[in-house]
Amino acid sequence: MTDTATELASQVRTGDRRALAQAITLVESMRADHRAGAAELIDAVLPFAGRSIRIGISGAPGVGKSTFIEALGLHVISLGHKLAVLTVDPSSATSGGSILGDKTRMGELARSHHAYVRPSPGGEHQGGVARRTREAIMLCEAAGFDVVIVETIGVGQNEIEVADMVDLFVLMVNPGSGDDLQGIKRGISELADLVVVNKADGDLAPAAGRTRSDYSDAVKLLHPRWRAWVPIAVSCSSLERTGIAEVWDIIEQFSAAVRGSGELQSRRRAQSLAWMWSEIREELLSDFRSNVAVRGDLGEVERAVADGRLAPIDAARRLLDLFERGEQRGLTQSPPVT
């Protein structure tokens, strides 16, 4: 192991926030020459990772996730916990202002010494979001944060990836969003362990109550993800900070239940294995695509498949053969694309 990785890892371990920020920046880096250092760093902190409640919070933009995390977070640190918040929001890269917006919505948290708020990295690259968030979680844990929240927008792949790296997956919805079964079906995620109806205040309070009860019925129809936990729906107001302590109590009950049943431990083992396989898939695919022999034929083969001139399975076999032969001849070190 290089000195820098060891050094950085031990600084992270002391809870040094600048070191933590630097470490996360390193694992977020897409530069190939940073990857080795990042891997060493993760190796070094691995024994100290895993000691947190990992919570994913998902929901449509504007539903109030950041406001909720600020309210919940302040409560959680008032109980003596140390909280890290990571955001996974690919849109924050494009809509310039929203990183700052998120920062501001969690302003009080961001200023606390017991919390660490890390917005999504800017930049165009979409790939690797899951990997770098997983690694950032581990770094935060090694730095002593015992509650980690990952905020993500509630769309497709993103949501699934986040659900795959946390213990508890929270779906946040607006009052009125479950007024018909169709709406619930569209809105509800199979992944939800807890549905939080936010904005239960002012004029929206009655609707929030109805929505909570609609979701309470709906979550019973979900295929349960845990033996020791049945998904439930609650309501709160992040703005007025009511119902927030109750949400935290539920999170603690969840945590105790799934630890007690041994499911948390087995879930995390399965997540680690799934992570390894997704690394292998990504590495292999990237080798495959950069393989000279494959690259030469890929366009034509794709056209043939699209036109129905070549069966997909034959095409795959042909490209894989090219790939394997190329690998054997050591042709993977392809010249850079210009």
Ligand X SMILES: Nc1nc2c(ncn2[C@@H]2O[C@H](COP(=O)(O)OP(=O)(O)O)[C@@H](O)[C@H]2O)c(=O)[nH]1
Q: How far is the CB of 94 from ligand X (least distance, A)?
A: 15
Window of 4-12, 66-74, 240-248, 295-303 that interacts with Mg ion by CB under 5 A? 66-74
Q: How far is the CB of 57 from ligand X (least distance, A)?
A: 9
Q: Is 145 helix (H, G, I), strand (E, B) or coil?
A: coil
Nearer to ligand X, 67 or 271 (CB): 67
Task: State the Cα–Cα distance between residues 229 and 292, nearest whole angstrom.
Answer: 50
336 binds, among ligand X, Mg ion, none (CB under 5 to 8 A by kind): none
Task: State the Cα–Cα distance between residues 326 and 151, nearest whole angstrom.
Answer: 42
The residue among 73, 90, 169, 104 whose CA lies nearest residue 132 is 90
Window of 13-21, 58-66, 201-209, 219-227 that interacts with Mg ion by CB under 5 A? 58-66
Nearer to ligand X, 97 or 308 (CB): 97
Give the sheet arrangement for strand 115-118, strand by strand.
Answer: 115-118, 83-88, 147-153, 53-59, 168-173, 194-197, 232-235
Q: How far is the CB of 62 from Mg ion (least distance, A)?
A: 8
Residues that bind ligand X (CB under 6 A): 59, 61-67, 105, 198-199, 201, 237-239
290, burial (CB in 10 Å: exposed 0-12, middle 13-18, buried 19+): middle
Nearer to Mg ion, 65 or 134 (CB): 65
Q: How far is the CB of 192 from ligand X (least distance, A)?
A: 15
Name the DSSP class of 152. E
Q: Is 311 helix (H, G, I), strand (E, B) or coil?
A: coil
Task: Count H helices and E strands in the chain, helices first.
Answer: 15, 7
Is 66 a binding residue for Mg ion by CB under 5 A? The answer is yes
Window of 15-23, 51-59, 62-70, 226-234 that interacts with Mg ion by CB under 5 A? 62-70
Q: How far is the CB of 214 from ligand X (least distance, A)?
A: 18
Binding site for Mg ion (CB under 5 A): 65-66, 102
